[in-house]
Structure 1
């Protein structure tokens, strides 16, 4: 049974206004009376009606975070940093996982709006004018990450194009002549929002065109390991496998090991994200690193600033770097 301030007032023989002043730490009440009310509230197990208070104040001190899933460690790490910063700022976080389902994503956004969240950080699978109009009607701050929705909604992420171009330059400098570019999300092009993978693909194509001596194959199939196996057993040049996620690169390393193919002696492998799991991988994986903590913190700060009516940049770019290890 929920204990109300009215019941506390009856028990103490005081007015509800006096009880409310004590419970909300407002002036106009003696220390002795305040102590009496707070003691009664504690004994009864009273908890304030948070939603009612929030409606009065116009803020719920809650934020929503919508992402695909947490199977990729980079997003598990991002949630951890987002929640830590939100908690530091006095906010509670609702996490929703869309599993890349456009309808489920909208359902979860609606659920967050029903809970009157103060802002939503969104890794969106949806895109288009209709979706943008829907988000504008929500009338809460929305900041995107990973996949840009449009320039009307701020984005916090890294420069994917530049990062991939730097990766290609490294591979070329190490003497590789052919690149197998692994990016399964590209098979959803035109069907859902894959802004991040598309930016990486554009950067890759620009980079290989600048390196005339480099040939390449783009692999978008779900069963990318079978495709890689096909290419590795054909006559080929010195080959590196560039993966757009460390998760793909880890699968590639395991596959190559099962085929007794040495890395990097026979084939080079490079990932993207520098997930914490790489600490336990041998050979150590060359990858692109960026601060997930900075992304999580910036998302929270941006949402709070927008909620307070402050202007924030349309694009906040988090710095990246290549970490060269044993696999290239």
Structure 2
């Protein structure tokens, strides 16, 4: 049977208000009384009734985070830092995984709202006015990251367009005159939220438009490994392969190796994300590092600030940098 603050008050010969002050470290009681109450509470195995507290305080000290993919290391890294920051401020985090299922994503959002979480951070696969309205009517703070949902909801990420432009300039500075841009998520345009890939695609086209001497191809088909191999082996120019994520870069590198195409002698490769596993890769991969742990920490920090009633910016850009490897 759960021990109540009323029972502790009766055993200590004090009021429930005094017990509440002791258990929540509030002023208004003597040190001796506080110590006595805490000792009795510990002996009885007292645990606070968070549901009852939430009804009184209007908060549950819980957050929700909605991810569409945990196999991609950037999201597991991001969740780790988000949870650590939330815990530092006394919040418990509920993690839900949608596996890129749009209906499941909506269901999970309703589940989190029904559990009265104080705020939600989300990387969405849904998009459009109906989904935007659902989140805006939720009645709690919501922060998005990765795939942006709405200009009306706070968003934490990097400037993907500028980062992609920096990657292309870096490749060109290495003497490459042809770039193959591998970006498979583009084939989901119009059916899923692919804000990040779209921004990287736009950045790529914009920078290539300013470099008339640079030839380029864009590969987004399902058989992208076969397409890349064919383009590389047929190219008469020094060719680099820019991939929209490190995962694609590693898959391309493995496929090229299986067909006796050497990196970087025959073709250079550059990724995007700087996932942890890259420290085991040989040759080391040149990539874009966008401090994913900082994004997770910042998302939690801003969400909690908003829960406390403070205004937060609608757009927060985290810095990025080029990590030089041996693959270019």
TM-score (norm 1): 0.92
> CA–CA distance in 2 between the matches of 1:264 and 1:290?
24
Greater CA deviation, 232-241 or 140-149?
Answer: 232-241
Greater CA deviation, 111-120 or 240-249?
Answer: 111-120
SS in 1 for 2:216: strand
Greater CA deviation, 219-228 or 90-99?
Answer: 219-228
Matching residue of 1:209: 209
1:132-143 map, 5 Å: 132-143=132-143
1:231-242 map, 5 Å: 231-242=231-242
Matching residue of 2:46: 46
> CA–CA distance in 2 between the matches of 1:27 and 1:286?
56
Cα displacement (A) at 1:232: 2.9
SS in 2 for 1:138: coil
> CA–CA distance in 1 between the matches of 2:265 and 2:323?
19
1:118-157 map, 5 Å: 118-157=118-157
SS in 1 for 2:230: helix
Cα displacement (A) at 1:155: 1.0
> CA–CA distance in 2 between the matches of 1:37 and 1:310?
35
Cα displacement (A) at 1:23: 3.8
Cα displacement (A) at 1:287: 0.6
1:317-328 map, 5 Å: 317-328=317-328
> CA–CA distance in 2 between the matches of 1:37 and 1:52?
20
Gaps of 5+ in 1: none
Gaps of 5+ in 2: none
Matching residue of 2:60: 60
> CA–CA distance in 2 between the matches of 1:30 and 1:289?
53
Cα displacement (A) at 1:82: 1.1
Matching residue of 1:113: 113
Aligned pair in 2 of structure 1 residues 80, 190: CA closer, same or farther (>3 Å)? Answer: same
Cα displacement (A) at 1:126: 1.0
Q: Deviations over 1:211-257 (max 9, x none)?
A: 21222221112332122223233354221111010111111122222
TM-score (norm 2): 0.92
Cα displacement (A) at 1:13: 7.3
Q: Deviations over 1:150-180 (max 9, x none)?
A: 1101111111011111111122222222222
